[in-house]
Amino acid sequence: MKALSPTDSAFLWMETRNQPMHVAGLNIYTPPPGAGPDFIPKMLEAWGQHIRAQSPFNLRPVLRMGMWHWQEDKDFELDYHLRHVALPQPGRIRELLAMVSRVHGNLLDRNRPLWEAYVIEGLPGGRFATYIKMHHALVDGVSGARMMASALAHTATEQKPPLWAQTYGRAPGARPSKAAPGLVEQFQNAVLAGRQILPGIASGLWDVVRPVTTQDWAALPFQAPPTPFNVEISGSRRFASQSYPIARLKAIGHAAQATINDVTLAICAGALREYLITQNKLPAKPLVAMVPVSLHGETTEGGNQVSLLLANLATHMADPRKRLKRIVQSTAQAKQRLMEMPRLQKMAHGMSSISPMGPGMVTGTAKKHPPFNLVISNVPGPKESLYMNGAHLDEVYPVSIPTHYLALNITISGYRDTLGFGYIACRRSVPALQRMLDYTDNAIRELESALGLSSVPVAASAPASKAPTKKRRTT
């Protein structure tokens, strides 16, 4: 029995029915050529032989003396965790997203290892999906995505055991942690986790982005305007997703001398601006996004390669080209500061590891003075095709965590030559999330048009992805 780190424990302590703390991945597959209607039942039957789970898929949380520990589930029951479901007719992406929206709002059962895997049949053309959900106390978004990818095969012929039956180089259940603290210290840690983390966020962010010059393009924490996204959330969710060829975004970046990250931010900014205008709620001040960023290759600093920055999304500017330029200035300035402050990187790293959650602990004042308006994450993904039992992985979408005062989360995941945008939101606070898909399309076209680029979609090469730029509707 292993004690959880205070940070991991915090995900359990702070979880409520309105703020579940699990992350998930939605994958869409095409069965191998010649696969019959029994492809999925056969696959599930084969998987069903793997009735033992490896760490962390065999670990359940137990509370002892006021501290959370991981304990092996001696009564592990695969049937509970592995769920075979189907979409109602006509089984469009719309029905798939409706199902994911619903399932993502349900709490995981703490009496069992904190994961659920759904195999979802009924997409047109025999395609199927998996939706795999894990608690954030067990795995963070990035390592969860890596684990799911590493569980897949690199060829159509290679057969691998199912996700829970494999062992992982760096088991997420064994996240690096300090030597176990003493009993009293642990107890204090657990009880105080929220308070310990919260001031860290506030003061740390403040230091990271405090203006050092009067020429200030960067976003400031607690200067973000109030928006409909910065409210207390309900327990229900809406999920929408869509993917685009990286080449299309690269063309924009090339024309505007912007990184892919900046282009994705500009696309989100354009979509958010249109969304807020139609809701008649566009603030006069620009929205501020919290963006976990990889500094690898952009800094000579050793140590932690991941940090975060606050990006000014320039949503107050109508001109898409100027908006992108302002975003580039904002992130460049923020990165410059990060590089000048190595002491703070570690701090920021600590923050980024709890990013989806820390802000949820912000007090009610966050409504009027949100530290930032939303989280936009770019999760790196595999570049090569992956396979599961011979089925080709076509599309990958992350499903992240909305929290109180951060009702909308946009997580973007790379796979092969596409980027999948996953929008997850509190269903009540963000009532028209599906429109964000149209607005995202519009934002891309708007940028292409402003930069004199052709808006003709660049075809993605995912073989089974029939129409890579086609909209994916939500429910």
- Is 110 an interacting residue with respect to its own copies (CB under 8 A)? yes
Between 98 and 460, name the residue whose CB sits nearer to its own copies. Answer: 98
Two structure tokens written together for 428: 């009540």
* Binding positions for its own copies, 3-22, rule CB under 8 A: 17-18
Size of the site for its own copies (CB under 8 A): 37
Angle at which helix 183-209 crosses helix 342-353, to 10 degrees, equals 120
CB 186 within 8 Å of CB 67: yes
**Alpha helix (H) residue ranges in 244-341:** 246-256, 260-278, 320-340
| Binding pattern for the stretch 43-82 against its own copies, x by CB under 8 A and - elsewhere | --------------------------------x-x-xx--
**Alpha helix (H) residue ranges in 107-214:** 141-150, 183-209
**Which position has the token pair 């597959």?**
29
Between 112 and 472, name the residue whose CB sits nearer to its own copies. Answer: 112
Tell me the CB-side half-sphere exposure of residue 64, using CA atoms within 13 A. Answer: 11
CB 472 within 8 Å of CB 436: no
| Binding pattern for the stretch 219-258 against its own copies, x by CB under 8 A and - elsewhere | ---------------xxx----------------------
| Binding pattern for the stretch 75-94 against its own copies, x by CB under 8 A and - elsewhere | x-x-xx--xxxxxxx-x---
Minimum gap (Å) between residue 134 Cβ and its own copies: 17
136 annotated active-site:
yes
CB 432 within 8 Å of CB 441: no
What number of other Cβ atoms are within 10 A of residue 249's Cβ? 23
Between 89 and 215, name the residue whose CB sits nearer to its own copies. Answer: 89
List the catalytic residue out of 81, 104, 136, 392.
136
The Cα–Cα gap between 61 and 11 comes to 11
Minimum gap (Å) between residue 374 Cβ and its own copies: 21
| Residue 243: closest CA among 431, 451, 26 | 26
**Four-CA torsion 343, 346, 351, 352, nearest 10 degrees:** 120
CB 126 within 8 Å of CB 87: no
| Binding pattern for the stretch 167-206 against its own copies, x by CB under 8 A and - elsewhere | ----------------------------------------
| Residue 366: closest CA among 223, 206, 209 | 223
Between 91 and 141, name the residue whose CB sits nearer to its own copies. Answer: 91
Amino acid present at 388: M
Between 123 and 351, name the residue whose CB sits nearer to its own copies. Answer: 123
| Residue 426: closest CA among 441, 398, 405, 396 | 405
Between 326 and 427, name the residue whose CB sits nearer to its own copies. Answer: 427
| Binding pattern for the stretch 431-450 against its own copies, x by CB under 8 A and - elsewhere | x-------------------
Angle at which helix 183-209 crosses helix 320-340, to 10 degrees, equals 130
The Cα–Cα gap between 20 and 236 comes to 10
Q: From 110-118, 132-140, 197-205, 223-231, give the range in contact with its own copies by CB under 8 A.
A: 110-118
Between 348 and 430, name the residue whose CB sits nearer to its own copies. Answer: 430
Minimum gap (Å) between residue 234 Cβ and its own copies: 4
- Is 107 an interacting residue with respect to its own copies (CB under 8 A)? yes
Q: From 100-108, 210-218, 276-284, 452-460, give the range in contact with its own copies by CB under 8 A.
A: 100-108
Two structure tokens written together for 74: 């001696």
State the catalytic residues. Answer: 136
Chain contacts with its own copies (rule: CB under 8 A) = 17-18, 37, 40-41, 75, 77, 79-80, 83-89, 91, 95, 98-99, 102, 105-107, 109-112, 121-122, 234-236, 427-428, 431, 475
